[in-house]
Amino acid sequence: TENLKFLCSYGGRILPRYPDGKLRYHGGETRVLSVGRSASFAELSVKLAEMCGTPVSLRCQLPAEDLDALVSVTSDEDLANLIEEYDRASSLKIRAFLSASKNPKSPPPSPASYYSTSPKS
């Protein structure tokens, strides 16, 4: 099984570049995270939280798109659609931007916590 590589940036900010105003990521850290293609969103979330030391939200840049068009990844379906877009573009690394979740003091999520029976809003 082939692995997916996420180029993860966190701890910085997306800012306009002088003089053209094109968005870029400034500050923070950037690391590569490798996960199996069969990894669920919950498993990916746990690995991202371990890497950052806190639960994080995941937004990714689509191939051939700028940073002003990041997509949020919040479910297995979102992750599958993202992988499909990168497969279609034959891109090797998924560019990911992480930000602290709303409750940064909570422990990293367990994979089971993403399988709730309550309806989505």
Q: Mean pLDDT of all residues in the chain?
A: 83
Q: What mean pLDDT is predicted for residues 66-76?
A: 93
Q: What mean pLDDT is predicted for residues 30-44?
A: 95
Q: Which residue has the higher pLDDT, 46 or 109?
A: 46
Q: Three-state DSSP class for 15?
A: strand
**Domains of the chain listed by start with CATH number:** 3-100 (3.10.20.90)
Find, among 121, 2, 100, the residue nearest to 49 by Cα.
100
Number of other CB atoms surrounding residue 58 within 10 Å: 23
Under the banding of pLDDT at 50, 70 and 90, the label for residue 107 is very low
